[in-house]
Structure 1
Amino acid sequence: MDRLKAARQALALVALLGGALPAGAQSDSLGKALDAAQQTQRAAVASQQRVDQLDDQTRALLERYRAATWQSQQLNVYAQQLNELLAQQVTEIQSLRTQLADLDRAGEDLMPLMLRMTDSLAQFVALDLPFLGDERRERLANLKQALGDPQVNAGEKFRRILEAYQVEIDYGRALGVERVEIGQETVDMLRVGRVALYALAPDGSRPRIWNAAAKQWDALPRGEAAAIREGLKMARELTAANLLQLPVPAARSAP
């Protein structure tokens, strides 16, 4: 701005001096003065442009500095949050280690109980009605294997025992059907909870009932075949559940 002002003053001075010189001298002096004034003005304009450019650069750097400062503050807050989270996780890990140690000690205390429960379940299956033999024996074998596996923790072992007990409980609440061999004959066997087992030949003939006391199949009157067929349909969910009228085996006396 000072250079522009000086250029304007120089032009005014040239105009004043021009009136005091002869005509020829006035023309030469005026031309030189005008050239000098124009150069001064151009220099002033160029200088002002540089100043403006420096101002723009300064503002840009200031904005970048402010953005960097804000980002640094946000990173500091984030780092603080991470440190707090890390401290919480360290505390939780220590707590879990303590719980695992307690669980291992509890597992050692529970092992005799779990072994007794497994043996009791095996005895129950052996004395129960003969159905789903392969499936139930395999479940017991897997359970015993898990009890002897050091890689399986105590909680998982106990869960599997309870699961095996629950499966056995569920058998007593529903109808079941499977194809079995009686002697040389393949038959369809109907299980009514744990109350009784009935068998029927594939052609719907030769109805039978399991005699638990004698551990053998006893023949039933042919008239019972219809009820057994209906029960087989219910067990296979081919028809809606309904009342079944079937003979019930006599209760066994206590030994």
Structure 2
Amino acid sequence: MKKHFLAMFLLSLIGLLGISAVSANSLTQAQVIEAKTNHSSQRTQQDIDKEAQQILELKTHIEQVTDSLSNLTIYRKHLTQIVSSQEKEIQQLQRQIDQIEETRQGIIPLMYHMLDELDRLLHTDLPIRFTARTERLEQLNALIIRADISDAEKFRRILEAFQIEMDYGYKIAAYQQTITLDDGSQRVVQQLHIGRITLISRSIDKQQAWIWQQDQQQWHSVLSEDLPALDNAFSMAYKQTPPQLLRLPLSVSTPSESNKKEAH
């Protein structure tokens, strides 16, 4: 009976051990599977996270590209407007250049006409400051053909010469000048002009004087009794005395005198 019970116990123990071994083996396999599953899940999650990061970076890049494209569009529009404005300005400048060229084509002949007029005036007017006027005209004739001087400067200088000529018509002035008398002799004199009606020369020692006669184109001696009046005129011209009425001979003929000469 005891032997039978022992045999039954051993069989049961062996069965339990077998079951335990099977259970342990199954547990180990389950743990391996779980570990693999966890590892696979981690890798999958890492892949998901990586893809999500790449998507986020791509989205950020797309936004940056979109912003850059928007900025480029604005900048391109800005450049287009600038180019359009520059084209209009170029057209305007070209029109101005064309107008300047047309003006230049007209002003150059005008300047030559003005020089001719200055020359005519020099040789038909009273010989007021004749040396200075002759030198100025020669300088202008040399200036007008110079390439290094602008047309504007040439025109300004010619206008300046005309202004000086105009001033001779209403100013009273005295200066030193060399004249040629009827006998061909030259004298250094003090010269006085009152506008364009009287031109008088006086010797440096103030003992002789001559008046220019425009109709005869020569110098005539002034009478000694008229010298005091000339002294007053020279004093006024040199601003040594205040302005006053003067009684002086004229260099140009009055209409009545011209009529008398024609009748005679």
> Residue 206 in 1 paired to residue 209 in 2?
no
Matches within 5 A, 1:1-255: 25=28, 28=31, 32=35, 34-85=38-89, 99=102, 103=106, 117=117, 120-125=120-125, 128=126, 130-141=127-138, 164-181=161-178, 187-194=189-196, 195-197=198-200, 199=202, 201=204, 206=206, 208-213=208-213, 215-218=219-222, 219=224, 227-228=232-233, 230-234=235-239, 242-249=242-249, 252=253, 253-254=257-258, 255=261
> Deviation string for 1:125-157 (max 9, x for gaps)?
3xx1x431211223444567789x7x9xxx999
Relative to structure 1, is the Cα distance of residues 78 and 167 closer, same or farther in structure 2, using a 3 angstrom cutoff?
A: same
Q: Distance in 1 between matches of 2:116 and 2:234?
A: 40
Partner of 1:189, secondary structure, is: strand
Task: Report if aligned partners of 2:119, 2:137 keep a CA contact under 8 Å in 1.
Answer: no
Instruction: Give 2:124's aligned amino acid.
Output: F
- Give the deviation of 1:189 after TM superposition: 3.3
Taking a change above 3 Å as real, the CA distance of residues 72 and 30 of structure 1, as seen in their structure-2 partners, is same
Whose radius of gyration is greater, 1 or 2?
A: 2
Count residues with an aligned counterpart.
217
Q: Any conservation in 2 of the 1:175–1:191 contact (CA below 8 Å)? A: yes
2: CA distance between counterparts of 1:222 and 1:114?
Answer: 39
Q: TM-score, normalised by structure 1?
A: 0.56
**For 1:168 and 1:224, how far apart are their aligned partners in 2?**
27
Structure 2: state its 5+ residue gaps: 1-22, 180-184
Amino acid in structure 1 at the alignment position of 2:47: A
Q: Which moved more, 1:52-61 or 1:167-176?
A: 167-176
Equivalent residue, structure 2, for 1:6 = none
Give unmatched runs, 5+ long, in structure 1. Answer: 1-20
Amino acid aligned to 1:176: A
Aligned partners of 1:209, 1:117: CA distance in 2, in Å? Answer: 31
- List per-residue Cα deviations over 1:175-216 (Å, max 9, x = no partner): 223223577875543433333435374xxx626543224614
Please, what TM-score do these two structures have when normalized by structure 2?
A: 0.54
Compute the displacement of 1:171 (Å). Answer: 0.6
**Cα RMSD (Å):** 5.2
1:40/1:135 Cα in 2 relative to 1: closer, same or farther (>3 Å)?
Answer: same
Alignment check: 8 A CA contact 1:198 1:228 kept: no
Closer/same/farther in 2, CA of residues 249 and 123 from structure 1, 3 Å limit: same
- Identity between Structure 1 and Structure 2 (%): 20
Instruction: Give the C-alpha shift of residue 59 in structure 1.
Output: 1.1
Alpha-carbon distance in structure 1 between the residues aligned to 2:105 and 2:186: 56
